[in-house]
Amino acid sequence: MKSLFDKLWDAHVVVQQTADKPAILYIDLHLVHEVTSPQAFDVLRERGLTVRRPDRTLATMDHSIPTVPISSLSELDVVSETAAAYQIRQVMKNCSDFGIELKDFTSPDRGIVHVIGPELGATQPGKTIVCGDSHTSTHGAFGALAFGIGTTEVAHVLATQCMLQRKPKSFAINLNGTLQRGVSAKDIVLRIIGEIGVAGGTGYAVEYRGSAIGALSMDERMTICNMSIEAGARAGMMAPDDTTFEYLAGREMAPKGAAWDAAVARWRELPGDPDAAFDREINLDVSVMKPMVTFGTNPGMVVAIDEPIPAPSGNDKAFAKALEYMQVEPGQRLAGTPVDVVFIGSCTNARLSDLEAAASIVKGRQVADNVRMLVVPGSQRIKNEAEAMGLDDIFKAAGAEWREPGCSMCIAMNGDTVAAGRLAVSTSNRNFEGRQGSGARTVLASPLTAAASAISGTVADPRQLVD
Amino acid sequence: MEPIKSITSKTVVIPLDDIDTDQIIPARFLTTTTREGLGEHLFTDWRYTKDGTPNPDFVLNAPEAQDAQILVAGRNFGCGSSREHAPWALLDFGLRVAISTEIADIFFNNALKNGFIPVVVDADTHAWLLENPGVEITVDLESSTVIVPGRDPVPFSVDSFAKYCLLNGLDQMGFLTQHADDIAAFEARAE
Ligand code: SF4
């Protein structure tokens, strides 16, 4: 009796693990970006190694890239810090030296690494996927086994297309019920992290199952798998189904014709056996969930928007430090707290449906005077599609900034930052101290909640604004 | 890599839970393309005040912390991103071991690959270490035990392969490249 995870694992073992040695696991797709790869390419150079499978490697530039329009390296130099511009040049040189396809800042395919993999159809069910980036778990939404890895492992995969790994334990999170209006996939995953804690998934590969998953779009499934790492999980995944296949059909790197039919037939075999065993299992009912907002400095410090911030248990120094940093108190409700910045973006929530959700709230309304609202599409294609639908006009008319794609304020490496002490409601995935800029305070929320907060000028419950 | 058998040092204690990699090394320092020099920015937002002067209240700025090689931290140390810059920064600063009751997965793996030893101990030992900052202890890799004065040796678990690599100063790239034939055979089967 095998789970989805067992099947994915077993199909990629090159050499089985033993008591003495981890397994050698084959990697089908390696995604590369500018921040975690330069030192790995240096290792290859030092040892005279080549990239084993450039055809299974795909690179982009997303973290340190500016979100103002640039069309040349000389324009990049004007808008970027020297180190960031150098890093962009390095990834261009490395990809060219080692024969890797790079979606650079002039490419119509460019965007956040975890957005473009699925969008191009490179992310497929049954694959093992790695990237030097913890949110690689996103790709698990397609029934892939996707791990975030460090730079040493990036070098391993470049050189050998393999990594050393011991099989993690398995964790089933069963989600049933129907979401209420104004509540979204982001709220589900924040609720899960609140439930199991930021270390609750440590050592596990998580499989999300249940009727609620079947009802979600691929965009929504990716939002949930994306944040698996915020619960400490090694990977997050969902069984592929017709929704998955419909999403992939016709995409550039997806199989075509007879190869497509054969692939779908294989993919239909991937879902786990009904009686597959897991090391841990929990059940949650999504129909009672509400919009969620974080109040502290990790994604597990989260409450429903209309509920009070809890009191710390015992002498929890980190909890007290977090509340002090966020300038909030136990018993307080976040709704109504003044907001300085609203960021709609990141690999968690910058896909087309996220932008549509935010636009549905913003349409015909104005961003509050005290708020700077930044909308950063996850990819160039999403930007183009959104513009074709007129979403950019809705945002701009409301007073929001409409930017070029990239990670932007999610990680604040490219010049898009939140100033010290300012409060940002963000659709990204991390509210760590200083994540959006030194001293910046971050409230994580769904696109609906973020957009509602931009309009109201305070942290706001979107359920009053959705029709 | 230099072989590592054991590390004896006094400890430095940061008692907070859930210390994430953004605190260990903030993203604004990740535009570097080398591994060197990151120790300067380790825990930067805690080590320095807004005007750039050292924060006298932060433990790593205390004179007695300067040559400590063993960090004792609250539970779930190293959560967050996959940035290997976190163990690089810790090592560059002079730290070589982190002890906690739980250490996040990706950080744990990254650390071992760089000769930084993540050590998970039981809650009782952890509580004692938190209460006795600056005590001299030994993390003995060969026996996989922490030797604490006046207490029984405390076992910790370290993957046998990672341990073998650390004890012998080997890195894992060599091991993987030796399996080129197995990898080619797998590709031939799968494609
Ligand atoms: S959007 Fe944020 S979380 Fe996603 S890859 Fe970029 S920096 Fe990482």
Q: Are residues A234 and A174 in the same domain?
A: yes
Sign of the C-alpha dihedral computed for residues A59, A62, A65 and A70 taken in this order? positive
Are A455 and A330 part of one and the same domain? yes
Q: Write down the pLDDT at residue A198.
A: 95
Whether residue A410 sits in one domain with residue A328: yes
Partner-chain contact A166 B159, CB within 8 Å: yes
The answer on pLDDT for B64 being more than 90 is no
pLDDT for res A351: 98
> Which of B80, B105, B173 is nearest residue A430 as measured by Cβ atoms?
B80
Span B6-190 CATH architecture: Alpha-Beta Barrel (3.20)
Per-residue pLDDT of chain A (467 residues; tens, 9 = 90+): 899 999 999 999 999 999 999 999 999 999 999 999 999 999 999 999 999 999 999 999 999 999 999 999 999 999 999 999 999 999 999 999 999 999 999 999 999 999 999 999 999 999 999 999 999 999 999 999 999 999 999 999 999 999 999 999 999 999 999 999 999 999 999 999 999 999 999 999 999 999 999 999 999 999 999 999 999 999 999 999 999 999 999 999 999 999 999 999 999 999 999 999 999 999 999 999 999 999 999 999 999 999 999 998 877 889 999 999 999 999 999 999 999 999 999 999 999 999 999 999 999 999 999 999 999 999 999 999 999 999 999 999 999 999 999 999 999 999 999 999 999 999 999 999 999 999 999 999 999 999 999 999 999 999 988 86
Please name the residue of chain B whose CA is at the shortest distance from the CA of residue A437.
B28
> What's the pLDDT at A100?
98
Looking at the fold, whether A266 and A296 belong to one and the same domain comes out as no
Structure confidence at residue B29 as a pLDDT band (50, 70, 90):
very high
Q: Which of A261, A288, A315 is the last residue of a domain?
A: A288
Which residue matches tokens 């030796």?
B178
Q: Do the Cβ atoms of B105 and A166 come within 8 Å?
A: no
In this structure, what DSSP letter does residue A284 have?
E
Q: Which of A26, A49, A413 sits opposite B27 (nearest CB)?
A: A413
8 A C-beta contact, residue A85 and residue A77: yes
d(CA A252, CA A255): 8
Residues 56-95 in B contacting A (C-alpha not used; CB under 8 Å):
74-76, 79-84
Would you call A345 helix, strand, or coil by DSSP?
coil
**Do A273 and A312 sit in the same domain of this protein?**
no
* Cα–Cα distance, B168 to B5 (Å, whole number): 9
Q: Which of A145, A165, A185 is the last residue of a domain?
A: A165
pLDDT at A467: 66
Verify that A271 and A384 share a domain, yes or no: no
Nearest chain A residue to B87 by CA distance is A150
* Amino acid in the structure at residue A404: E
Q: How would you classify the pairing of strands A292-294 and A302-304?
A: antiparallel
A339-350 as b/e: b if 16+ CB within 10 A: bbbbbbbbbbbb
CA distances from A288 to A211, A217, A301, A305 (A): 15, 20, 19, 13
Min Cα–Cα distance to chain A from B188, Å: 11
Please check whether residue A52 is in contact with residue A160, taking contact to mean a CB–CB distance below 8 angstroms: yes
Nearest-atom number in ligand 1 for the CA of A348 is 4
Give the amino acid at A288. Answer: V
Domain ranges of chain B: 6-190
The C-alpha angle with vertex A315 and arms to A310 and A318, in degrees rounded to 5, equals 70
CA distances from A205 to A6, A27, A151, A449 (A): 10, 17, 21, 29
Asked whether the beta carbons of residue A199 and residue B83 sit closer than 8 angstroms, the reply is: no
ipTM over 0.90: yes
Residue nearest to atom 4 of ligand 1 (CA): A347
Sign (positive/negative) of CA torsion B57, B62, B65, B67?
A: positive
Read off the CATH number of the domain in which A193 is found: 3.40.1060.10
With an 8 Å Cβ cutoff, are B20 and A47 in contact? no
Q: Mean of the per-residue pLDDT values for chain B?
A: 95
- Quick check: A299 and A432 in contact, CB under 8 A? no
Asked if A356 and A447 sit in the same domain, the reply is yes
Tally of structural domains, chain A: 3
On whether both A284 and A325 belong to a single domain, the answer is no
- Across the interface, whether the CB atoms of A159 and B177 are under 8 A apart is answered yes
Q: Is A117 on the interface with B (CB under 8 A)?
A: no
Is A95 strand, coil or helix? helix
For residue A455, how many other CB atoms are within 10 A of its CB?
Answer: 21
What Cα–Cα distance (Å) separates residue A28 from each residue in A144, A451, B105, B191?
Answer: 10, 38, 22, 11
Cα-to-centroid distance, A195 and ligand 1 (Å)? 23
Put simply, the answer to whether A86 touches B33 (Cβ < 8 Å) is: yes
Q: Where are the beta strands (DSSP E) in A232-312?
A: 235-237, 280-285, 292-294, 302-304
Q: Domain of A10: which CATH number?
A: 3.30.499.10
Can you give the pLDDT at residue A367? 98
Percent of chain B that is helix, strand, coil (3-state, to 5): 40, 20, 40
Strands B136-140, B145-147: pairing is antiparallel
What are the helix (H) ranges across A249-388?
257-267, 317-326, 352-362, 380-388
Q: Which residues 6+ apart lie within 8 Å of A415 measured at CB? A: A66, A79, A80, A81, A84
Q: What is the structure's pLDDT at A315?
A: 77
Q: Do residues A206 and A119 lie in contact, with contact meaning Cβ atoms separated by under 8 Å?
A: no
Do residues A158 and A182 both lie within one domain?
A: no
Contacts of A39 in chain B (CB under 8 A): 33-35, 84
Which of A165, A197, A228 terminates a domain? The answer is A165
Q: Side-chain half-sphere of B105: how many Cα atoms within 13 Å?
A: 25
Indicate if A327 and A217 belong to the same structural domain: no
Residues in B touching A434 (Cβ below 8 Å): 22-23, 26, 45
Same structural domain for residues A145 and A10?
yes
User: pLDDT per residue over B90-127, tens digit each?
Assistant: 999 999 999 999 999 999 999 999 999 999 999 999 99
Ligand 1 midpoint to CA A411 (Å): 7
Q: Dihedral, CA atoms, A96, A97, A101, A105, nearest 10 degrees?
A: -40
Q: Which residues of B touch A42 (CB under 8 A)?
A: 34
Sort strands B6-14 and B70-73 into parallel, antiparallel or unpaired. parallel
Full-prediction pTM beyond 0.90? yes
Q: Structural domain of residue A379, as residue ranges?
A: 292-464
Residues A37 and A130 in one domain: yes
- Chain B residue with Cα closest to A12: B186
Q: Residue B180: phi, psi to the nearest 5? A: -55, -35
- Please tell me the predicted confidence (pLDDT) of residue A45: 98
Contact B183 A52 (CB under 8 A): yes
E strands in A181-240:
204-209, 235-237
* Cα–Cα distance list, A432 to A229, A421, A444 (Å): 14, 14, 10
Residues in chain B closer than 8 A to A155 (CB atoms):
173
The reply to whether residue A198 touches residue B76, judged by beta carbons under 8 angstroms, is: yes
Separation of alpha carbons B117 and B7, rounded Å: 10
**Lateral strand order in the sheet of A372-375:** A401-402, A372-375, A341-344, A423-426, A441-444
| Block residue for tokens 């294989």 | A266
Confidence bin at B1 (pLDDT 50/70/90): confident
- Taking every pair of C-alpha atoms in chain B, what is the biggest distance, in angstroms? 61
- Measured from CB, residues less than 6 Å from any atom of ligand 1 are A 62-63, 112-114, 133, 135, 346-347, 407, 410-411, 428-429
